[in-house]
């Protein structure tokens, strides 16, 4: 299974000790005077998710905290605040909804989002293998629309991958697909960038090749990541793989391998052409919008 961890290159030093805050959340703890911790929901490289209950309204939400070792790291706190601003600045049916952002005296900064109790695309691929074109588009097309809205709002996501796409029950019935985790999101003009020179963040298999060489991220970088995600959803594998970061980025300079499923089914040449364009090593050659990619796939 391809790695899905968001990684920093080069690696940073060990997180600083977290002395100003309590060591960890326990069920029943109250965070920010209004959110009662119910149960852990998940964890990542920089933060942890909890299901919480609003003390007054009784509604259940998802609350994200920085990991203990990062709560006193000013750069991480700045990135966390930026995540809150990014998630709140663009409203879209396929973007996770931010409810609150605050700093707790005991637990440090936290943000609160709508609770999505469903299945990630990562889980879906791992559970059932490659998806057909129609089901793939049912996952990817809503994310493409969300990305285009995000880009129109002046933001880049920078971490599009199966683990950050979630399908959950919709309030009125059916399901909704949403793009989540804005921990790496930045403004397109780069004014809020906090990553130091020579360092890049992301998940290598889904990262555009120009990003790994230190060039600025762009709309084209997000579209590349979406294309890798769509390719993996259709085939069950990423288009490029290697045991090393250098080898992986070198492979990305070439055309993707034949679009063939593990069952031996080959997709049409127009679909392969759509991926060849979207996965081009030249950002200028890629589709101008994310919906151009999904429209190309949907017209086959």
Instruction: List the one residue out of 89, 50, 85 whose CA is nearest residue 66.
Output: 50
Helices and strands in the chain, H and E counts: 8, 13
Residues facing residue 177 across a β-bridge = 167
Four-CA torsion 93, 95, 101, 162, nearest 10 degrees: 150
DSSP state, 34? T
CA 123 to CA 22: how far, in whole Å?
A: 32
Four-CA torsion 135, 137, 138, 143, nearest 10 degrees: 140
Instruction: List the one residue out of 48, 45, 19 whose CA is nearest residue 31.
Output: 48
Q: Is 73 a catalytic residue?
A: no
Q: Which two tokens stand for residue 54?
A: 């609003």
Largest CA distance in the chain: 58
**Cα-based distances in Å from 125 to 35, 205, 238:** 33, 16, 12
Catalytic residue among 159, 181, 243, 282: 159
CA 181 to CA 203: how far, in whole Å?
A: 13
Provide the angle, in degrees to the nearest 10, between the axes of the packed helices 133-152 and 290-298: 160
CA 155 to CA 139: how far, in whole Å?
A: 21
Consecutive H or E run containing 196: none
Radius of gyration for the chain, computed over Cα atoms and rounded to the nearest angstrom: 19
DSSP state, 253? T
Catalytic residues: 159
């Amino acid at each position: 299974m391809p790695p899905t961890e968001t990684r920093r290159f080069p690696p940073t030093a060990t997180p600083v000790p977290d002395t100003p805050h309590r060591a960890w959340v326990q069920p029943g703890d109250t965070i920010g005077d209004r959110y009662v911790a119910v149960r852990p929901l998940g964890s990542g490289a920089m933060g942890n998710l909890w299901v919480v209950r609003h003390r007054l309204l009784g509604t259940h939400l998802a609350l994200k905290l920085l990991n203990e070792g990062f709560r006193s790291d000013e750069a991480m706190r700045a990135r966390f605040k930026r995540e809150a601003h990014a998630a709140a600045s663009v409203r879209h049916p396929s973007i996770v909804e931010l409810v609150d952002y605050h700093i707790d005296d005991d637990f440090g900064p936290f943000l609160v989002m709508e609770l999505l109790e469903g299945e990630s695309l990562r889980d879906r691929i791992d559970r059932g293998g490659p998806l057909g074109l129609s089901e793939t588009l049912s996952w990817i097309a809503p994310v493409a629309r969300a990305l285009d809205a995000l880009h129109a709002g002046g933001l880049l996501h920078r971490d599009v991958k199966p683990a950050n796409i979630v399908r959950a029950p919709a309030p009125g019935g059916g399901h909704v697909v949403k793009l989540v985790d804005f921990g790496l999101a930045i403004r397109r003009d780069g004014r809020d960038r906090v990553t130091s020179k020579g360092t890049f963040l992301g998940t290598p298999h889904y990262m555009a090749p120009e990003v790994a060489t230190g060039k600025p991220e762009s709309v084209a970088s997000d579209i590349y990541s979406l294309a890798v995600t769509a390719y993996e959803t259709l085939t069950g594998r990423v288009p490029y793989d290697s045991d090393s970061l250098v080898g992986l980025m070198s492979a990305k300079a070439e055309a993707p391998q034949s679009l063939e499923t593990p069952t031996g089914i080959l997709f049409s040449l127009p679909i392969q052409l759509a991926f060849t364009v979207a996965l081009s090593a030249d950002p200028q050659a890629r589709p101008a919008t994310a919906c151009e990619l999904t429209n190309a796939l949907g017209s086959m």
